[in-house]
Structure 1
Amino acid sequence: MFSNLRVKGDIITNVGGTTRIYAKEGYEINSNASIIYSAPEYSFGEPLDPPLTDGVKEIELLTALDQGSANDKTGTYQDGMIFGKTYHFKVKNYIQNPPANIATIKWMLKFHSLSQNKWIEIPLSSTGDSITITMNDEDMCGRFIYVRAYVRNPEIEAEYKQWKHNRFRWFDRMVVDDGLIDRKNDPAKINQHATSLCGTAALLYFYAQDFKNDFYKNYMEFFRTGEVFINRFKLSPNSVLYDFNPDLNNLKYPHYDKYSNGKPCIPHQLMHQTDWVILAGTRSSDNKKYLGQKGEDWNAINWPNYMVDAAVNLYGATLVADETSIITGRDFSNKLIEIEKLYNQGWHIILLIDSDMLDDSISYIGCATQFHWIAYEGNLIIDLIKNEYSFSYYCWEKLNIGAQIRSSVFNTNFYGYIKFKK
């Protein structure tokens, strides 16, 4: 309620109600005599803002949104903004009247940054009753974005709230998060599935073993923003990966369509979303030709030079050696004894074999697409009577304890190893 205060000479007329005085440039009280407050109580506080008459009331988005995961484990989708796309916003309504000068309408973006754990406000340079904004800040991915338009006060004028998808927008954040926690607690759950990403799986198996929290934090950030540095290794894959959909209808997504006995898998068994993000995302960051698709074996191959580079730059090894060879078919019992000693000295060992070894098959002629990396985990026993080696190793979502391998099978499928440690 507004009322008037009239002053005339020594006569003051009081009017009931609340009297409010607004002054644009400040308000002063001067007197040649004393100033007497007759109210029984009074307090000093922040002055109330004058009522808005030319502010912005409502904003609308004119650009179509894109679908992505609802991130709730239901397999459903939601609309949202995506990284790199330009969006057109326009003032829809004013509080009362448009300002006399449209250029006095200002714009701002606001979001909560997970990387900095604080609210970020970004004033935009463009003014007027409409604006185009390109969403090219990775840190805004996987967050709600607040677009504000205002004449005087951004806190109380128009605000438009919109979800911006994670960079891997079709992948479910809750599924990926749960998967990373599982693999952080038990790295043997990392599964290359129907891909040739065995070397990357072995490296990340050791990385998750030794740096559990960093493994979880870095790959969760990678899932959200699409880029992250792990030590000196930059995760930044071919951009095609960001739009890949882990859906049964997408036959390019790695899956099993039949069992080992030849019977069809109905429905197809899809590669876990977490494994695809961390394995395909890591390999494609080194080889942009790799697109993470089913049957893409050649571009996925983890060559020894890549393994050495990733051991140094991703894992953070200070000591590394490539002991691989193109020669096989020898007695490698002494080599296994040497590997066991290195293992007990704290070295991580990743063996390069022909996958025929896992099928108990003798094979003298190697094939690049059958080369396979397994993580050595000790417990070596050489049985000369049975002509058998046994040791523990990780591959394909399993830690095999004391696996028994015929010496003739091992000796014709072994192609050396790489070793590394911090």
Structure 2
Amino acid sequence: MATAGVEFTAKNPIDRKGIEPTQVKSIKLLTALDNGSKNDGTGKGVQPGMLYGNTYSFKVSAYTNGNPNDLKKIKWKYKYHSLSKDKWIEKTSSKTGDTYSLHLNEKDMCGRTIHVMAYINDFENEGYLKTWFHNRFRWFDRMMFEKELEQRTDNRHPEVINQKGTSLCGMAAIFYLFAKEQPEKYKKFSKDLFRTGEATSNSYTAKPSSDILNKKINTMGFPMNTGNMAIVDFVTLASTRNTKNPKYKGGNEEFNAINWPPFMVELCEKLLGYGSVKSKGVYNPVKPLLTSTSDMKNKIEDINKQFNDGYKLILMIDADLIQDQWDIKALDLHWVNLESVIKWDYVPGVFGSKRDEVMFKVYSWGSNTQYLSKPISWSHFVMNYNGYIKMK
């Protein structure tokens, strides 16, 4: 559908003696618009708007005093308010005539209202048309996104970041640290991604494919096939994973969403900007059949030393480590952020142990208070722990 023209209303009337000069009274958009979010906080409303990469044609639809003798006298310009520069950007076209084409390839214009003007001698008061230019994530509600972002930064709840029904636990661990330790950088990165489809932090740039940018929403306004993942989490987590592996399409594809250790290290260095990043034993595809208390002691002492030395630690575990049930058959690799030292209360006995309780806190699955719900045994820990990435 095309947007109706805005008729000219003179603010500063021109001194007209004799025959009144003709002016552009109104213009219209010839190119059909595409729907996207209405950004009204409901997650469901839609509105028409322009899309990045498309070309839109405009035409003069009426004049104030008959058609001009020379159509080349009709000039065109457009303007928008730039969020990145915090000022109005105004550009005049070198093309003249009663038609005009505008190719939208400037990402800074996304998520803004574009003001198009056609005029002969008074651009402020002649033909004028305002049209909405969708955010790159056009189906997601901006008001919902900003509310979620505020909760993670201004309200200081980065632990609500949640990969929901996807295998993006590694991305969740990375962005939990990002939001917790660098909230302003995280906020800018998230906003830039949502609006322009591209964002850079430190030396890493996320630039998701159209599969991510055009993700549709469910009846609740959340990204489809993600288990109602929050919009801001999808925008950041899915975009970053897709940038590295375009085969990940932003849903519940398990294998393509896996966050392998080298990529995790890369993000710690380039996205989060940590100068010292090292990994240790982070991937063990086969669970050990036998282990010992001395092995457990060494692992705990090593982890606690890194934690007490000021390193941020992301652990690779089998998900059984922080769940109530422990199976020895399934391999459910999972990334979590260590939030405390590991306490091991152990008293050996003649037949087994008299006391054996391992307790610690981690961030995982949108919470840093739920895990562990109760102490586990040393064998439960050591047989489901693989290694860590440390950074500072």
Q: TM-score range by the shorter chain?
A: 0.7 to 0.9
- Counterparts of 1:214-363 in structure 2, within 5 Å, are 214-248=185-219, 253-256=224-227, 270-294=228-252, 296-323=253-280, 324-326=282-284, 328-329=287-288, 330=291, 331-362=295-326
Match of 1:382 in 2: 344
Equivalent-residue separation in structure 1 for 2:371 and 2:241 (angstroms): 30
Q: Letter of the 1:220 partner, please give it.
A: K
The amino acid that maps onto 1:111 is: Y
Out of 315-324 and 98-107, give the one that drifted further: 98-107
On the 8 A contact 2:307/2:341 being kept in 1, the answer is no
Is 1:355–1:371's contact at 8 Å kept on the other side of the alignment?
yes
| 1:98 paired residue number | 67
2:351 is aligned to: none
- Displacement of 1:328: 4.9
Could you tell me how far 1:255 is from its partner in structure 2? 4.1
How many angstroms apart in 2 are the aligned matches of 1:61 and 1:154?
A: 18
Query: Which digits, 9 at most, give the CA deviation of each residue in 1:143-202, with x for residues without a partner?
Result: 110011112221111111011111101100010001011111211010110011111111
Rounded to whole Å, the distance in 2 between the matches of 1:71 and 1:249 is: 14
User: Shift of residue 248 of structure 1?
Assistant: 3.2
User: Which amino acid in 2 is paired with 1:98?
Assistant: N
| Separation (CA, whole Å) in 1 of partners of 2:364 and 2:371 | 14
1:316 maps to amino acid: G
Q: TM-score, normalised by structure 2?
A: 0.86
Distance of aligned partners of 1:401 and 1:363 in 2 relative to their CA distance in 1, 3 Å threshold: closer
Per the TM alignment, residue 76 of structure 1 is displaced from its structure 2 partner at its CA by 1.0
Aligned residue-pair number: 359
Task: Note if contact 1:360-1:409 (Cα within 8 Å) is conserved in structure 2.
Answer: no
Residues in 1 aligned to 2:40 and 2:129: alpha-carbon distance in whole angstroms? 23
Query: Where does the alignment leave 5 or more consecutive residues of structure 2 unmatched?
Result: 1-11, 348-354
Matches of 2:15 and 2:266, distance apart in 1: 64
Moved more, 116-125 or 242-251: 242-251
CA distance in 2, matches of 1:133, 1:57: 20
Flag the 1:68–1:48 CA change in 2: closer, same or farther, 3 A: closer
Q: Is the 8 A contact 2:222 2:229 kept in 1?
A: no
Matched, 1:162 2:119: no
> CA separation in 2, counterparts of 1:212 and 1:194?
25
Distance 1:333 1:132 in 2: 70
Identity of aligned residues (%): 40
- Matched with 2:4 is none
Q: Give yes or no for contact 2:75–2:93 (8 Å, CA) kept in 1.
A: yes
Choose which of 28, 32, 52 in structure 2 pairs with 1:60.
28
In 2, Cα distance between equivalents of 1:132 and 1:402: 57
* TM-superposed deviation, 1:109: 1.2
Kindly tell me: are residues 378 and 361 of structure 1, through their superposed partners in 2, closer, same or farther at Cα, counting changes over 3 Å?
Answer: same
Q: Which letter maps to 1:283?
A: R
Structure 1: distance between partners of 2:303 and 2:220: 45
One-letter amino acid of the structure 2 residue matched with residue 160 of structure 1? L
- 2:122 aligned residue: 153
Unpaired runs of 5+ in structure 1? 1-46, 257-269
Task: Out of 390-399 and 403-412, give the one that drifted further.
Answer: 403-412
TM-score (norm 1): 0.80
> What do you get for the CA RMSD once the two structures are aligned?
2.1
